[in-house]
Every structure is written in structure tokens, then in C-alpha cells.
């Protein structure tokens, strides 16, 4: 019997299937539609699962949606009608899209699979985030669970405790429009980046500036009471932009082109100031959660938790024992939380727990075997294709990876990545600026064996777990500057990933690289700018040709893309 969790309609639609006995499959709709951050009902994901697992009413225990549809719609509607004239455009758009929202979840499901109505259950938005975080720890009663995002069902911050008997208690909540997530997204919009996509760029940009607008921003968002001054924002009434003329009067005109803009330093200072407000707010939120719960170990979820610079900065303050952000803390990961809700709803004293980051399908589960040879030629001359691959990396080649199971979360963790030798400055610059088309202020991430980490990096033990999935930054030691300067951000940090699994191809690749004189690879996601990470063999071929990448490492060898 399968449990299925679904997140859809707002951000990054996804589906997670499990039988709670070892069968797990996580999918994002964007993988099939090739629309980055696709928020539509995930019918392609479900069709894939129906086909692969022969899904029908008889073998499905529960399908769980990650929030309560009407409650989420109503909370935004209720806020908008308080001032209908001022919020007119937003209100009209909200009503116009009524039939495209989650209220029609059961109808959308039944278009694909006829399922008994009593098998459809609904979690709540922040609880789904929380229950996803539950799956990455064993001693669940030692943690306090914090969710912080833009908004979900009218909530913007929530604090939970969970006991060993799985009794869940919400002990504090903050409500819309008082949202640090929407504050940061509005600054993202002001700086010319796309909301729900560009926040990481603001984070990177912030390291080039100083928080000289701290006092101004503290008047806009109170970091102690978690309240927002709506005079500076329009996310509640304007469907085209989220900031108001008042913010422009305060900061000046919005960005034109940050890469070429003569006021680059000014915009970096704005980003730095917004980043500081975020960090101060989260510091106070975590302290509040510790006081209310009596627990000093934190699980942090919600889209705000994706800010890995914040996690790093908070650890420097030494006021908690541990802080873990699971690999996919945003809405897509809530499909796993929703499935956890279904398991708990059924079994009462049992939930999901994972020892792997790779909950997506195996590559041979996605593709028909014969398709690979239509697009690729096997080029390894011996059976030791790992050794041959590392030889090519040392020679300056950029090599894609497409093997084993797909990662969970927005960051490629080796299995669908693009690698180059981190000591080769030309290769690093070529990968970052030419192939990936990233901004000059966005650094690439290093990947290293766990046993070599302390040779080059240092980090507080309270956040070290997050290194397994690039969930935080760490400090570069002077030894890193000697050979790997190109991967160090301007503030002396790196978003490092450590590899522990000795059976994985990624571990074997790094182990082989060491014998050639290099300890570190650059690891970036296997996709071109603004596209989702590759999913099937067709995506692999198209992305390689678009980025002019010749070689890809797969489960059984090194391949070259054909000219077809």
C-alpha cells in the first residue's frame, strides 16, 4: 500500500510516493514540463508514478495534500477585502484564478486516477514543512521545529514541538502580512531578480556590500516584533511588483542591470542590509522558539531556510546546540511532509525517516536502455572509467554527471551535476560565466570527501550536518587559498558539500582525483541558466549540446555526445 504526498499550485509542484518500507520516489513537475519552478497540478509526475507502480484505488492507502485548500485561499481573500479599493487588482486576480487553485485538488486527482474520497486527506501548510524536517532526525523529541516562509494559510512563522509518542503541538505563530520571507522577496524584486528564484542571488550579492541601510530597514521590518510596515510594499495588492513608491523614495530607483550598473556598490549595500535584517529576525525567532520549547536543537524549514548564508551567520552567535535545515525546505519538499502526515495519520506512532539524500528515481528507472546509445558513444578505453574521468578532469575538461538516483532539493549533489577541477582557474571561470551564464558575484560550490574537509575548511559543529547537502556556508582556511582560490567567495566563505557514502560514484570520483593531485571538484547543477535540472536522457543530450559539454559520466561509463 502506497502513501502519496503532493505539493502544488503555488511553488514547485512535486509528488512523493512511499510504502514506508523502502520504496520511495520523489518527483518535481518541472522535470517533465521543463518549466523552472512549475507550480501547476503535477499531472505529469502522477502519470509517471501510475505507470511505474501500477497505481489504483486498491493499492493506495492515502493521498495527502500539503495544505488545506480553502483555508489558504480564504486567508488571502479575507485580507484583501478589508481594503477592496486599494487591493482591487490583486483581489480581481485572486478571484479570476479561483478555478486554477488547490480548491479543485480532488477534481484534478480524479482526472488521472479514480480514488475514494476518504483516501484524500489534507495536512496544513506549515505542518507539512515541519513533518518533512521530522524525517531527517532520529531523536525527534529533542528538537523544536520552526517553519518560516512567505505565507501559507495565513501563517508566516510557526513553532512546533513533537514528542516521542508523535504528539504534535503548535506553540506559536506569526500571521500575514508580517512576513520576513515576503520582505526579502520584495527586496529581491526591487533589485531586479525574479521572486522565488533570485533570492539566492541577493544572498550572494550581499557579500559585496555593507549593511548601511540597517536602520532604515529596521523601520520597515521590526526584527523584534516580526511586524512589517506595509507602506513600503505592494505584494498584497499589485500583481506586477511587490514594492511601493515609498521604498523607491527611500532607496532610489530600482536596478537596471547589476552586472553593468555603475551603482553596483549601492545595490550590494541594499542586499547586505536586507540580509542582515533576515539574520537578526531569524536569530530572534530561534531564541523565542528555544524559550517557548526548552529545546536548544532546531529543525528549520520553509523557503527562508534556503538562505545558507543566514545559517552560517547564526552559528557564529553560539546560542543553540544544533541547527538542521533539510535538503528541500521549500514547498517542493512539503510533498514529503504531506506523505509523512499520511503515514502518521494511518500508523499513529510511526513516520518516515531517511538515511539518503537521493529519493528520486534511479536513472535506469527513468529511461529506456536503448535510448542512451542513440545520443551517446561510450569512450572509456578500459573498465576503470572512474580513473579515465579523473584524468580528463585534471586535463581541464568539464564533465557532466548523470548516474544513480536523483537528488531531493534545489541543489545538485553529484548525481546530476557538472564537475571541473577546482584548482583549474580557467575551467572554473568557463563553467561559471560561459556555460552556466551566472553573474560574476555568484560563486561556484566545492565538493570534497568528508575526510579531507578539515584540511581546507572550518565550521561550527552545530551546523555541520547541513554540509551533506550544501545547506550552509563554511570558512575557507588559508590552505584553500594556495590552490583553490577561484571557489572562495569575496567574504572568505564557500558553500561546500561533503561526501560520505563510500559506495557512491561521486565518492569514488573524488577518491581517484586525489591520486592525481587534486582534492576538490567544483559541483554545479546540470542545467543551463533558468532551466530545471536534467531529468531524462533527452534533457542530458540537449543541455550538453546547448552548453557545449562533450562528456558525461553515467553509471556504467564515460560517454561523449554524438553529433546528430
Pairing of the two strands 155-162 and 143-152: antiparallel
For 273: left if phi > 0, alpha if psi spans -120 to 50, otherwise beta; the answer is alpha
> Which residue bears the cell 499513529?
348
Q: How many CB atoms lie within 10 A of CB 50?
A: 14
Question: Do the Cβ atoms of 172 and 156 come closer than 8 Å?
Answer: no
pLDDT in tens, 27-80: 999 999 999 999 999 999 999 999 999 999 999 999 999 998 866 655 665 556
Dihedrals phi, psi of 37, to nearest 5 degrees? 70, 25
pTM of the model: 0.94
Grid cell for residue 169: 503541538
Question: Do the Cβ atoms of 327 and 408 come closer than 8 Å?
Answer: yes
pLDDT score of 69: 80
Grid cell for residue 31: 522535470
Give the C-alpha separation, 467 to 474, whole Å.
9
Mean pLDDT of 510-521: 97
Mean pLDDT of 234-240: 81
DSSP E strand stretches across 29-164: 60-65, 120-122, 143-152, 155-162
Domain formed by 180-324, architecture = 2-Layer Sandwich (3.30)
> Which residue bears the cell 552560517?
312
2-136+328-347, CATH topology level: Nucleotidyltransferase; domain 5 (3.30.420)
State what percent of residues in the chain have pLDDT above 70: 93
> Which residue bears the cell 511587490?
242
Q: Residue 511: which H helix or E strand, with range? A: helix 505-514
pLDDT in tens, 331-375: 999 999 999 999 999 999 889 998 889 999 999 899 876 678 889
pLDDT in tens, 407-420: 999 999 999 999 99
Domains 2-136+328-347 and 180-324 share a fold: yes
Give the C-alpha separation, 118 to 124, whole Å.
17
Give the C-alpha separation, 429 to 435, whole Å.
9
Per domain, the residue ranges of the chain are 2-136+328-347, 180-324, 363-561
Question: Do the Cβ atoms of 156 and 221 come closer than 8 Å?
Answer: no
Q: What is the CATH number of domain 363-561?
A: 3.90.870.20
Amino acid at each position: 500500500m502506497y502513501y502519496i504526498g503532493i505539493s502544488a499550485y503555488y511553488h514547485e509542484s512535486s509528488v512523493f510516493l512511499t510504502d514506508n518500507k523502502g520504496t520511495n520516489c520523489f518527483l518535481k513537475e518541472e522535470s517533465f514540463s521543463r518549466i523552472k519552478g512549475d507550480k501547476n497540478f503535477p499531472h505529469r509526475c502522477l502519470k509517471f508514478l501510475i505507470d511505474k507502480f501500477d497505481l489504483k484505488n486498491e493499492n493506495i492507502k492515502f493521498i495527502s495534500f500539503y495544505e488545506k485548500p480553502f483555508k489558504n485561499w480564504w486567508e488571502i481573500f479575507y485580507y484583501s477585502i478589508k481594503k477592496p479599493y486599494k487591493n482591487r487588482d490583486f483581489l480581481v486576480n485572486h478571484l479570476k484564478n479561483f478555478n486554477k487553485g488547490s480548491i479543485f485538488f480532488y477534481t484534478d486527482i480524479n482526472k488521472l486516477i479514480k480514488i475514494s474520497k476518504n483516501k484524500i486527506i489534507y495536512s496544513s501548510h506549515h505542518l507539512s514543512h515541519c513533518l518533512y524536517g521530522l524525517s531527517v532526525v532520529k531523536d525527534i523529541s529533542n528538537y523544536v521545529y520552526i517553519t518560516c516562509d512567505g505565507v501559507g494559510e495565513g501563517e508566516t512563522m510557526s513553532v512546533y514541538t513533537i514528542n516521542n509518542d508523535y504528539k504534535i503541538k503548535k506553540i506559536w505563530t506569526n500571521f500575514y502580512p508580517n512576513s520576513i520571507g515576503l520582505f526579502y522577496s520584495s527586496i529581491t524584486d526591487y533589485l531586479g531578480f525574479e521572486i522565488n528564484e533570485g533570492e539566492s542571488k541577493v544572498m550572494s550579492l550581499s557579500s559585496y556590500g555593507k549593511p548601511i541601510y540597517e536602520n532604515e530597514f529596521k523601520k520597515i521590518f521590526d526584527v523584534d516584533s516580526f511586524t512589517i510596515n506595509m507602506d513600503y510594499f505592494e505584494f498584497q495588492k499589485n500583481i506586477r511588483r511587490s514594492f511601493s513608491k515609498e521604498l523607491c523614495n527611500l532607496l532610489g530607483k530600482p536596478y537596471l542591470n547589476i552586472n553593468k550598473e555603475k551603482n553596483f556598490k549601492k545595490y550590494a549595500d541594499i542586499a547586505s542590509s536586507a540580509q542582515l535584517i533576515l539574520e537578526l529576525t531569524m536569530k530572534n525567532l530561534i531564541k523565542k522558539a528555544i524559550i517557548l520549547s526548552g529545546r536548544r536543537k532546531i529543525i528549520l524549514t520553509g523557503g527562508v531556510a534556503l538562505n545558507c548564508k543566514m545559517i552560517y551567520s547564526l552559528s557564529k552567535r553560539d546560542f543553540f546546540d544544533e541547527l538542521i535545515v533539510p535538503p528541500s525546505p521549500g514547498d517542493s519538499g512539503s510533498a514529503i511532509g504531506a506523505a509523512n502526515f499520511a503515514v502518521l495519520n494511518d500508523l499513529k506512532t510511526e513516520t518516515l525517516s531517511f538515511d539518503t539524500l537521493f529519493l528520486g528515481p534511479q536513472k535506469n528507472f527513468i529511461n529506456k536502455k536503448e535510448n542512451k546509445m542513440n545520443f551517446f558513444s561510450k569512450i572509456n578505453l578500459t573498465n576503470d572509467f572512474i580513473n579515465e574521468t579523473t584524468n580528463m578532469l585534471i586535463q581541464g575538461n568539464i564533465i557532466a554527471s548523470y548516474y544513480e538516483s536523483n537528488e531531493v532539493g534545489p541543489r545538485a549533489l553529484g548525481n546530476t551535476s557538472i564537475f571541473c577541477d577546482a584548482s583549474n582557474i580557467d575551467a572554473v571561470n568557463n563553467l561559471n560565466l560561459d556555460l552556466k551564464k551566472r553573474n560574476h558575484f555568484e560563486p561556484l560550490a566545492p565538493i570534497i570527501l568528508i575526510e579531507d574537509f578539515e584540511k581546507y575548511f572550518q565550521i561550527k559543529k552545530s551546523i555541520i550536518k547541513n554540509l551533506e547537502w550544501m545547506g550552509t556556508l563554511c570558512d575557507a582556511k588559508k590552505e584553500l587559498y594556495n590552490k583553490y582560490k577561484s571557489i572562495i567567495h569575496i567574504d572568505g566563505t564557500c558553500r561546500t558539500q561533503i561526501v560520505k557514502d563510500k559506495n557512491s560514484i561521486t565518492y569514488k570520483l573524488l577518491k581517484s582525483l586525489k591520486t592525481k593531485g587534486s582534492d576538490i571538484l567544483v559541483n554545479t547543477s546540470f542545467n543551463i541558466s533558468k532551466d530545471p535540472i536534467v531529468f531524462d536522457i533527452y534533457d542530458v543530450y540537449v543541455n550538453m549540446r546547448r552548453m557545449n559539454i562533450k562528456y558525461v559520466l553515467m553509471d556504467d561509463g564515460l560517454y561523449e555526445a554524438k553529433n546528430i
